[in-house]
């Protein structure tokens, strides 16, 4: 009995010893895991707090964007930037210097030098930016490089660095967006993720035929029919609207915007802009922009002068405001014939890749024609796109020019 009692004590001690060993191993794993987690946390914190460049753009009719940082793409396809702000965060303690920048304002040239979050450009969205320059000074410039990339006509240009000019200045284009990246001296910006460098018009296949359906003189009672047909066929169109009609049909204007269609400016009261003074042209366009912004959430970036009349002070004033008159290549004369089948026949007998088709949304016969044309054009392989989408795929829109089509050259 005494022998069994002794053996039992040994087994008990061995069991306690094994428990202690397991406890020590578990404690070691916990401590090691904590150290690893701590190292990961420190690495993440270091990543989060390295020097970064933040930037925001004010888009015409859209207001200021949220801040982007360190190579994030900042662009829109439905507006143009008229002002920007750039700032630094997590600047190394004791290291002197700031980020400085200039913008080229269309028709006015280079701005003065701004820095650290100051607004460069003309706030209010009236005049687009053609280019920008960004650089560092002080000790920052000795330890870091800043790279800038601009989007023009829906495509990203090559990187430039340390104060070099980004964009295409003096050729009638404007920037659509920017990317800015601060890196340690001698390093390169990180590789772009798949899809980030694609055109803003990624929903449009530039290798497939496309046309832009445009509807003038609304809004009115029949746009809902047109929008429903577009939605059913995954198409979009551009609606050039008369400003004094917008408030009473605000719901359909909002639907246009929500459906991805383009909101265009067709003057305040369908006046002949070629017979107005420059101030009167500006007033008509701005009042219409304000009305459309209130109804649809953003102001137009395109103008179609009534009657296609661009003489007098019209074209030069629109150029100063950053617009290019949008005309057409197929005139259906639907306002005159009021015959849906004739309208369909005119379009289908003439249509080619890159055409801008003129119709009017205020007649029931035109809505009926649209309901016939939209599925038929889609069946024939045409992408139904907005004017801006068509332009971006075919060379862009440049103030000072007029555009009737965007056919491949």
Residue 98 in this model has a pLDDT that exceeds 90? yes
Residue 202 lies in a domain: no
Q: What's the pLDDT at 396?
A: 80
pTM: 0.60
Residues 381 and 301 in one domain: yes
The stretch 124-140 carries a mean pLDDT of 90
- Cβ neighbours, 10 Å, residue 7: 10
Residue 4 lies in a domain: no
What is d(CA 102, CA 270) in angstroms, rounded to the nearest whole number?
39
Residue 232 lies in a domain: yes
Residues 362 and 229 in one domain: yes
Residue 286 lies in a domain: yes
Residues 234 and 343 in one domain: yes
Residues 360 and 253 in one domain: yes
Q: What is the dihedral of CA 250, 255, 260, 261, to 10 degrees?
A: -60
Identify the domain containing residue 113 by its residue range: 52-184
| 66 CB burial (10 A radius; 0-12, 13-18, 19+) | exposed
Residue 78 lies in a domain: yes
Residue 44 lies in a domain: no
Q: Which of 148, 167, 184 is the last residue of a domain?
A: 184
Number of structural domains in the chain: 2
Residues 138 and 229 in one domain: no
What is d(CA 130, CA 167) in angstroms, rounded to the nearest whole number?
6
In the chain, the N- to C-terminal Cα span, in Å, equals: 108
Residues 178 and 265 in one domain: no
Nearest CA-CA partner of 354 in 377, 329, 336:
329
Has 216 been annotated as catalytic?
yes
User: For the chain, what is the radius of gyration of the CA atoms?
Assistant: 30
Nearest CA-CA partner of 62 in 104, 148, 132, 123:
123
Residue 11 lies in a domain: no
Q: Which of 133, 166, 184 is the last residue of a domain?
A: 184
Residue 366's pLDDT band (boundaries 50, 70, 90)?
very high
> Cα 265 vs. chain centroid, distance in angstroms?
19
Catalytic residue among 70, 78, 145, 216: 216
Write the pLDDT tens digit of every residue in 269-314: 999 999 999 999 999 999 998 999 899 877 788 999 999 999 999 9
Residues 223 and 345 in one domain: yes
Residues 174 and 227 in one domain: no
Residues 179 and 83 in one domain: yes
Has 360 been annotated as catalytic?
yes
Residue 189 lies in a domain: no
Mean pLDDT of the chain: 86
CATH number, residue 330? 3.20.20.370
Residue 1 in this model has a pLDDT that exceeds 60? no
Residue 83 in this model has a pLDDT that exceeds 90? yes
Residues 306 and 370 in one domain: yes
Q: Contact, 142 vs 185, CB < 8 A? A: yes
Write the pLDDT tens digit of every residue in 255-277: 999 899 999 999 999 999 999 99
Residues 364 and 239 in one domain: yes
Residues 158 and 219 in one domain: no
């Amino acid at each position: 009995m005494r022998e069994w009692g002794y053996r039992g004590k040994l087994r008990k001690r061995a069991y306690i010893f094994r428990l202690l060993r397991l406890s020590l191993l578990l404690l070691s794993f916990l401590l090691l895991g904590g150290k690893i987690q701590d190292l990961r946390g420190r690495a993440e914190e270091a990543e989060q707090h390295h020097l970064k460049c933040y930037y925001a753009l004010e888009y015409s009719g859209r207001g200021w964007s949220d801040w982007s940082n360190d190579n994030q793409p900042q662009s829109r396809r439905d507006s143009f930037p008229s002002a920007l702000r750039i700032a630094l965060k997590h600047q190394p303690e004791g290291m002197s210097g700031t980020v400085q920048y200039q913008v080229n304002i269309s028709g006015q040239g280079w701005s003065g030098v701004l820095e650290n979050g100051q607004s460069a450009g003309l706030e209010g969205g009236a005049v687009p930016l053609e280019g920008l320059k960004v650089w560092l000074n002080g000790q920052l410039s000795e330890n870091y490089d800043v790279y800038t990339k601009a989007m023009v006509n829906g495509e990203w240009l090559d990187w430039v660095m340390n104060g070099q000019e980004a964009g295409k200045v003096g050729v009638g284009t404007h920037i659509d967006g920017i990317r800015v990246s601060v890196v340690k001296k001698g390093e390169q910006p990180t590789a772009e993720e798949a899809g980030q460098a694609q055109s803003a018009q990624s929903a449009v296949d530039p290798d497939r035929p496309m046309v832009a359906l445009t509807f003038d003189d609304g809004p009115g009672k029949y746009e809902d029919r047109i929008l429903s047909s577009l939605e059913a066929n995954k198409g979009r169109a551009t609606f050039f609207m008369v400003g004094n009609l917008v408030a009473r049909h605000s719901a359909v204007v909002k639907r246009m915007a929500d459906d991805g269609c383009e909101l265009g400016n067709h003057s305040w009261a369908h006046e002949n802009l070629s017979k107005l003074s420059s101030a009167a042209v500006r007033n008509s366009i701005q009042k219409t922009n304000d009305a459309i912004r209130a109804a649809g959430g953003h102001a137009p970036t395109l103008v179609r002068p009534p009657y296609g009349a661009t003489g007098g002070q019209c074209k030069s004033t629109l150029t100063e405001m950053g617009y290019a008159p949008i005309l057409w290549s197929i005139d259906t004369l639907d306002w005159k014939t009021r015959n849906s089948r004739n309208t369909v026949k005119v379009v289908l007998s003439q249509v080619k890749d890159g055409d801008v088709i003129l119709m009017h949304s205020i007649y029931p016969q035109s809505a009926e024609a649209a309901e016939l044309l939209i599925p038929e054009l889609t069946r024939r392989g045409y992408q139904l796109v907005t004017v801006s989408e068509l332009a971006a795929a075919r060379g862009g829109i440049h103030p000072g020019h007029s555009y009737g089509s965007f056919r491949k050259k």
